Amino acid sequence: MLPHLTTLIPGPRSLALAAKLRRHESRNVTFLADDFPIFWQRAEGVNVWDADGNRFLDLTSAFGVSGLGHTNAAVRAALVAQSGELLHAMGDVHPTELKAELCARLSALTYERWGAGDGKTVLSSSGSDAVETALKTALLRTGKAGVIAFTGGYHGLGLGALSAIGLPYFREPFRAQLKDFATLLPYPAERGGLPGGLRGQIEETIRAGGIGCVLVEPVQGRGGCVVPPREFLPMLREVCDTHGMLLIADEIYTGFNRTGALFACEHSGVVPDLICLGKALTGGFPLSACVGRAEVMDAWPESSGEALHTSTFLGNPLGCAMALASLAQHDDPALAAHVRERGAKLRAALAALRSPHLGEIRGLGLMLGVELIERTEDCRGSCQLPQSPDHPPGESGRFPYSRPATALAIAIIKHALRDGLLLLADSPTSNVLSFTPPFAISDDEIAFTAARLQEYLTLLPGSIS
């Protein structure tokens, strides 16, 4: 047993709440086990406290939402002030000044900042909603319903977004309710460079007809923190320009400085036609946005009194107020530089870990992944790369002759929880520990995290091959 492991997490209150959930929440939602989860009570900065009073270091920013820190003072002040004024308005009928202000700010931070004219926005509630708005826009603009998307891609679980995601686990049980408008092509990983045949595959898909857009994450998050080669997005831009298709950047995870640039597409200087935003946009309110070049968004007909695409909570004033307070902080180039510096520190600490189970350490800024593998016998030249729809070769990491160490990843997440570290795993095989902490993570917190990880990698059962 690791010396500092405590049996008090989850504590009695969390266990009682788990029992309540087991009885009253649909059983597919929250993973409930004897040693998981804890129930969040409050949070501040990089820390979270659970219902039993235990403090945790959040290495996840709660799915990438809280980069500016939990309960960020300015965002909270905006929420508190707004809550005394107006909780809800009529988003597409009689809206608020805040909605107009937010649409203008989103334009200023994207298309105007990129020197591409005005941007226009459709607001919505979830990331999945924003992606579906983008897909509808592409159909209206091009008249073509087909979408090129990528293996390992995650775009949300609404039936439209689900049709375009590259993680079969989420899609397959609902195939009968989905329309086959997406063609999935392999997402290239940085280490291999741009595969020679990929452009050909894209061209061939386009030649088959009906493709109106390419939907892509500039860095895949849920797919396992996969950074593509630098030429990938520029190549997609060129293909879209050549064929009159739209390039949709899904920056719901990568947006707002997470990768060390305000938006991840800026690393390769590519301006997408549409950008999908969510998560960190507000730092904690379900509000998302599809922002597009004005002439692209003008494919939508002018409202004649009945909006073609809207929702009850569109442009909710609480969310808009929080987003404006959050954007005011993101619009500071020093923040991107800070994330790059913190990211380099965390990456160096992760790269110094020693274990035969370490595969690739990858990512950008404070969006980092540590791949855990079981190395198989050295069969170089004589055995096949592991290939399956769930584990395509592009994601198999630095050591192709290996299996994903999923059980080790899960054991590490559970041990980390009991040591006060909140950690998640991504990738189709859940073997990539993902590190997306709040931007204020300190040197000491990085050192603590790395020391614990080294201990797990050395001491956990199954960690020595």
Ligand X SMILES: Cc1ncc(COP(=O)(O)O)c(C=O)c1O
161-180: which residues touch ligand X (CB under 6 A)?
Answer: none
Instruction: List phi, psi (to 5°) of 144.
Output: -120, 135
Of residues 46 and 252, the one with the C-beta less far from ligand X: 252
Taking the least distance from each CB to ligand X, the nearer of 222 and 452 is: 222
Residue 319 contacts by C-beta under 8 Å, 6 or more apart in sequence? 282, 285, 286, 287, 313
- Scanning 200-208, 247-255, 359-367, 378-386 for contacts with ligand X by CB under 6 A, the matching segment is 247-255
* CA 420 to chain CA mean position, Å: 23
Q: Which is nearer to ligand X, 17 or 252 (CB)?
A: 252
In this chain, which of 39, 154, 263, 456 binds ligand X, going by CB under 6 A? 154
Whole-number Å distance between alpha carbons of 314 and 320:
10
Taking the C-alpha atoms of residue 48 and residue 42, their distance in angstroms, rounded to an integer, is 6
Judged by beta carbon, residue 290 or residue 373, the one nearer ligand X is: 290
How many residues belong to the site for ligand X (CB under 6 A)? 15
d(C-alpha 164, C-alpha 272), whole Å: 18
Three-class SS of residue 184? strand
Nearer to ligand X, 51 or 314 (CB): 314
Comparing CB distances to ligand X, the nearer of 126 and 427 is 126
- What is the distance of C-alpha 264 from the center of its chain? 12
* The one among 135, 149, 227, 252 contacting ligand X by CB under 6 A: 252
Judged by phi (left if over 0) then psi (alpha if -120 to 50, else beta), residue 284 lies in left
Candidates 150-158, 195-203, 229-237, 352-360; binding stretch for ligand X (CB under 6 A): 150-158
Q: Which among 251, 281, 258, 218 is positioned nearest to 438, based on CA atoms?
A: 258
CB nearer ligand X, residue 106 or residue 457: 106
Determine if 156 is a binding residue for ligand X (CB under 6 A).
yes
Phi/psi for 316 (5° steps) reads -50, 130
Least CB distance to ligand X at residue 152 (A): 11
**Which residues are CB-contacts of 126 (< 8 A; sequence separation ≥ 6)?**
156, 158, 278, 286, 288
- Closest by CA to 45, choosing from 31, 55, 36, is 55
Does position 253 interact with ligand X (CB under 6 A)? The reply is: yes
At its nearest, how many Å lie between ligand X and the CB of residue 161?
A: 7
Look up residue 255 and give its two tokens: 């947006």
Of 152, 160, 278, 386, the one binding ligand X by CB under 6 A: 278
State in angstroms the smallest separation of the CB of 385 from ligand X: 26
- Give the shortest CB-131-to-ligand X separation in angstroms: 6
Rg (CA), the chain: 22
Q: Under rule CB under 6 A, which residues in 294-313 are in contact with ligand X?
A: none
Site mask for ligand X (CB under 6 A), range 203-222, x = bound: --------------x---xx
Which residues in the 53-92 window bind ligand X by CB under 6 A? 63
Three-class SS of residue 213?
Answer: strand
Closest CB to ligand X among residues 286, 356: 286
Cβ pair 141, 120 in contact under 8 A: no
Give me the 30-59 binding string for ligand X, x by CB under 6 A, dash otherwise: ------------------------------
Nearer to ligand X, 54 or 128 (CB): 128
Q: Which of 66, 72, 128, 257 binds ligand X (CB under 6 A)?
A: 128
Nearest C-alpha neighbor of 341 from the set 269, 439, 449, 262: 439
The answer to the question of residue 419 lying near ligand X (CB under 6 A) is: no
Q: Can residue 127 be called a binding residue for ligand X (CB under 6 A)?
A: yes
Q: Tell me the C-alpha distance between 400 and 398, whole Å.
A: 6
Neighbours of 186 (CB within 10 A): 17
Residues in the site for ligand X, rule: CB under 6 A? 63, 126-128, 131, 154-156, 217, 221-222, 250, 252-253, 278
